[in-house]
Chain A
Amino acid sequence: MLKVRNLESGYGDLRVLRHVSLHVNPGEIVTIIGANGAGKTTLLHTIAGLMKARSGEVLFNGSDITGLAAERRVLSGCSLVPEGRQLFADMTVHENLILGANVRYKRKEHEMVEGVLEHVYGLFPVLRERLGQYAGTLSGGEQQMLAIARALMAAPKLVMMDEPSMGLAPLIVKEIFNVVRRLREDGATVLLVEQNAKAALAIADRGYVIETGRIILQGPSEELLHNRDVQRAYLGRDLDSETKI
Chain B
Amino acid sequence: MIWEPEYETMAREDLEQLQLERLEAVLSRVYMHVPFYRRQFDDAGIEPDDFRSLSDLGNLPFTTKNDLRKNYPYGMFAVPLRDVVRVHSSSGTTGAATVVGYTENDIKRWSGLVARVLTAGGVTKDDVVQIAFGYGLFTGGFGLHYGAERIGASVIPISSGNTKRQIQILEDFKSTALVCTPSYAMLLADTMYEMGVDVNALSLKYGLFGAEPWSEAMRNELQSKLNIIATDNYGLSEVMGPGVAGECLERKGLHINEDHFIIEVIDPETLKPVVPGEVGELVITTLTKEAFPVIRYRTRDLTRLITDECPCGRTFNRIEKVRGRTDDMLIIKGVNVFPSQIERVLFEVEGTEPHYQIIVERKGALDVATVLVEATEEIFFDEMKLQKGLIDRINKALVHELGIGMDVKLVEKKTIERTEGKAVRVIDKRKM
Contacts and interface: CB of A to CB of B under 8 A. Distances in A.
Nearest to B13: A3
Q: What are the 9 A-B residue pairs with the smallest beta carbon separation, nearest first? A: A228-B83, A21-B21, A214-B28, A18-B49, A216-B28, A215-B25, A243-B82, A21-B20, A223-B105
Nearest to B49: A18
A29 to B, nearest CB: 16
Interface in A211-236: 211, 214-219, 223, 226-229
Nearest to A243: B82
B52 A6 contact: yes
Contacts of B82: 239, 243
Contacts of A218: 21-22, 25
Interface in B1-25: 14, 17-18, 20-22, 24-25
Interface of B: 14, 17-18, 20-22, 24-25, 28-29, 32, 48-49, 51-53, 79, 82-83, 103-105, 108-109, 288, 290
Given A21-B24, A217-B29, A228 B103 contact: yes
A120 B20 CA distance: 37
B103 A23 contact: no
Contacts of A229: 79, 83
Contacts of A214: 24-25, 28, 48-49
Interface of A: 3, 5-6, 18-19, 21-23, 208, 211, 214-219, 223, 226-229, 239, 243
A47 to B, nearest CB: 15
B25 A216 contact: yes
Contact of A23 (B21, B28, B51, B109): B21
A22 B17 CA distance: 8
Contact of B17 (A23, A216, A217, A219): A23
A28 to B, nearest CB: 11
B290 A19 contact: no
B51 A227 contact: no
Contact of A22 (B21, B28, B108): B21
Contacts, number: 57
B288 A219 contact: yes
18 contacts: A5-B17, A5-B20, A6-B52, A19-B49, A19-B51, A23-B21, A208-B21, A214-B28, A216-B32, A218-B21, A223-B108, A223-B109, A226-B108, A227-B105, A228-B79, A228-B83, A229-B79, A229-B83
A223 B106 CA distance: 9
Nearest to A8: B49
B104 A226 contact: yes
Given A5-B17, A227-B290, A228-B103, A215 B24 contact: yes
A215 B20 CA distance: 11
A233 to B, nearest CB: 13
A243 to B, nearest CB: 5
Given A214-B24, A215-B24, A215-B25, 9 more contacts: A5-B17, A5-B20, A217-B25, A219-B288, A223-B105, A223-B108, A226-B108, A228-B79, A228-B83
Given A19-B52, A223-B105, A229-B79, A215 B18 contact: no
Given A22-B21, A227-B290, A229-B79, A216 B105 contact: no
B17 A3 contact: yes
Nearest to A225: B105
Contacts of A239: 82
Contacts of B21: 21-23, 208, 215, 218
Contacts of B49: 18-19, 214
Given A216-B28, A228-B103, A21 B17 contact: yes
A33 to B, nearest CB: 13
B22 to A, nearest CB: 6
Nearest to A229: B79
Contacts of B103: 227-228
A45 B81 CA distance: 38
